[in-house]
Amino acid sequence: MIRNSLTAKIIISVSIVITIAIGIFAYIIVRVQTNELMDRAKSNGIFISHLIYQHISQVMLTGNRGEIREFFLNIGRSEEVQRIFLFDNNGRVVFSSEAEEIGGMADDFYRQLFMSNENPVNFKVYEDQKIFSIVTPVKNKQECQYCHGTKSRTLGVLGLDISLIPAEREIANNRNWIILFAFVILALVSAVISVLVVVLVRRPVGSLIRTMTAVEQGDLKVRVNIKNKDELGRLGTSFNSMIISLEQVKSELQKHHEQQMQQAEKLATIGELASGIAHEIKNPLAGISAAIQVLAEECNLRTTHREVIDEIMQQLERLNKNTRDLLSFARPAEPKFLVSDLNDVINRAVFYVKKQTERQNVCLIEELEQGIPNILIDPEQIQQVFLNIMLNAIQAMPSGGCLNITTQRVTDFKFGTPETVKISFTDTGKGIPGDYLRRIFNPFFTTKHRGTGLGLSISRNIVEKHGGRIEVESEPGKGTCITIILILESEKNGQGQSACS
């Protein structure tokens, strides 16, 4: 759930960053306060030691040992002072807040601490025992020398153990308050961020998602309702503009589709009508052609009116071809697949256009690759495709030119199977303008005053039924190249056999 929620990701990420930042900040504050409190405890301990030293020095001048003893006992009852004692130069405890220590020897720790350097006050902190120990040498001042003589520079050592427990309690109390404030700040910041993310991000994004889902389901009436002026608001405005554009395009496409459907219905009707007319005309045309040939032979018209007879026969053949094209377009026949030599099919098609190329001074060049395997095709239909393309190329070169026919075995992964054969027809005619190039396969589209405009449409239909495709490249003034690509792989052959059966 979290992986798919942008809001959750933002809140969790920001919360983690804030937690780390507040944690580091709280840690630094605790450390600084801890050091400050410990330093303050040490300073207070040294100050207390100094006051006690001054007081003892004054009392010792009076020689009132009882007052000193009472003073030590009272100081020892303090929460901060854990122990106070005084030992002489030999290490024997003279006064102590703990009566059982009087007369005993002071610990080596205090004597070594006293002997460690010549500072007036020496101290050491025992963290594990939570004690701050201070030793202060009692100097043999001039006023003290009357009783103690001048042999020794010190009369003894004042030892003081300050408890660090009160300071640590204060540190722990401060730490707890800092942690509590950190959690409160974290909770407040997280709550504010959550509200901001929900209001500024989640709701606008949710509106976008709902609108996009509705658009995906085809509803182009919906709009994104984001009133913010930020980036998401501008995104919503842009998305609404895109929906409006899509709605307009959809409306135009719908109108175009309706026009295409109407055109398709008209074409279907025309096709049926043309099929009927072509079928009715075909048989009379055959009869007329036969009658003209009989009359020409019996009346010896070939010698006297040869040009007229040839023109009549040529026009009859043109009418016959047009009726065949209409019948092929209206009632396309299913291919009858046979294993055929593609180069042989091309040669037969070339034979039928040979005389026309000679009459129009068109140079015909064949570059047929040898060794192309036999292919499963309908040779009659493929021959018709080749004838249509070659006749169009010849008609595009009324003043002569060159028609180059090539076959090539190539690798083409567009079919999913690489083995294909490519048949290219390249002419040096006038070429096809760009706006015409997109329409040359449309039924009944032609730029010539003769013909039905069905040749290329029928040819493409035949090639697609063979599992192939037709590609056209043309440039005005430089000629046209029409390429037919057929599959050689066994998978295609299996499809051809199933279509044949």
Cα separation values, 492 from 24, 241, 375, 471, 497, Å: 71, 47, 10, 19, 9
Taking the C-alpha atoms of residue 365 and residue 403, their distance in angstroms, rounded to an integer, is 6
User: In DSSP terms, which residues pair with 484 in a beta bridge?
Assistant: 423, 470
The verdict on residue 142 lying in a domain is yes
User: In DSSP terms, which residues pair with 368 in a beta bridge?
Assistant: 407
Q: What is the CA radius of gyration of the chain?
A: 56
Q: 351, 385, 389, 344: which is closest to 368 by C-alpha?
A: 344
| pLDDT score recorded for residue 250 | 84
User: At CA 226, angle to CA 225 and CA 232, rounded to 5?
Assistant: 135
Taking the C-alpha atoms of residue 243 and residue 212, their distance in angstroms, rounded to an integer, is 9
Same domain, 442 and 391: yes
pLDDT band at 126 (very low <50, low <70, confident <90, very high): low
Q: 105, 104, 107, 127: which is closest to 115 by C-alpha?
A: 107
Q: Which of 84-88, 302-306, 490-494 has the lowest mean pLDDT?
A: 490-494
Q: Coil, helix or strand for 159?
A: strand
The verdict on residue 220 lying in a domain is no
pLDDT in tens, 82-91: 778 888 777 7
* Residue 424 predicted with pLDDT over 90: yes
Same domain, 346 and 461: yes
Q: Coil, helix or strand for 406?
A: strand
Taking the C-alpha atoms of residue 125 and residue 42, their distance in angstroms, rounded to an integer, is 9
Taking the C-alpha atoms of residue 220 and residue 325, their distance in angstroms, rounded to an integer, is 45
Same domain, 323 and 342: no
Kindly report the average pLDDT of the chain as a whole number.
76
Same domain, 407 and 485: yes
Say if CB 97 and CB 160 are below 8 A apart: no
| pLDDT score recorded for residue 283 | 59
User: In DSSP terms, which residues pair with 126 in a beta bridge?
Assistant: 131
| pLDDT score recorded for residue 296 | 63
Using H for helix, E for strand and C for coil, what is the string for 289-317?
Answer: HHHHHHHHHHCCHHHHCHHHHHHHHHHHH
Say if CB 110 and CB 123 are below 8 A apart: no
C-alpha of 346 from chain center: 51
pLDDT band at 344 (very low <50, low <70, confident <90, very high): very high
Same domain, 274 and 355: no
Would you give the end-to-end CA distance of the chain in angstroms?
55
Same domain, 398 and 287: no
- HSE at residue 141, side-chain half, CA atoms within 13 A, is 8
pLDDT in tens, 55-79: 777 777 666 777 777 777 777 677 6
Locus of tokens 């933002």: 10
Taking the C-alpha atoms of residue 194 and residue 201, their distance in angstroms, rounded to an integer, is 10
pLDDT in tens, 222-278: 887 777 777 777 787 888 888 888 888 888 888 888 887 777 676 666 666 665 665
Q: Which of 147, 170, 193 is the last residue of a domain?
A: 170
Q: Which of 128, 148, 170 is the last residue of a domain?
A: 170
Full domain range(s) for residue 270: 248-331
More confident residue, 138 or 350: 350
| pLDDT score recorded for residue 481 | 92
| pLDDT score recorded for residue 245 | 87
* Residue 111 predicted with pLDDT over 70: no
Total residues found in the chain within this entry:
501
* Residue 483 predicted with pLDDT over 70: yes
| pLDDT score recorded for residue 201 | 76
The verdict on residue 401 lying in a domain is yes
Question: Residue 105 carries which DSSP code?
Answer: B
The verdict on residue 243 lying in a domain is no
pLDDT band at 420 (very low <50, low <70, confident <90, very high): confident
Average pLDDT over residues 446-466: 72
Which tokens sit at 427? 């002419």
The verdict on residue 223 lying in a domain is no
Domain count, the chain: 3
Say if CB 324 and CB 388 are below 8 A apart: no
Average pLDDT over residues 148-155: 68
With both helix axes pointing from N to C terminus, report the angle between 231-298 and 203-216 in degrees, rounded to the nearest 10: 10
pLDDT band at 444 (very low <50, low <70, confident <90, very high): low
* Residue 42 predicted with pLDDT over 70: yes
* Residue 213 predicted with pLDDT over 90: no
More confident residue, 434 or 336: 336
| pLDDT score recorded for residue 279 | 55
Per cent of the chain over pLDDT 90 is 4
* Residue 325 predicted with pLDDT over 70: no
Looking up residue 283, the CATH number of its domain turns out to be: 1.10.287
Whether this model's pTM surpasses 0.85: no
Taking the C-alpha atoms of residue 422 and residue 388, their distance in angstroms, rounded to an integer, is 17
| pLDDT score recorded for residue 416 | 57
Looking up residue 39, the CATH number of its domain turns out to be: 3.30.450.20
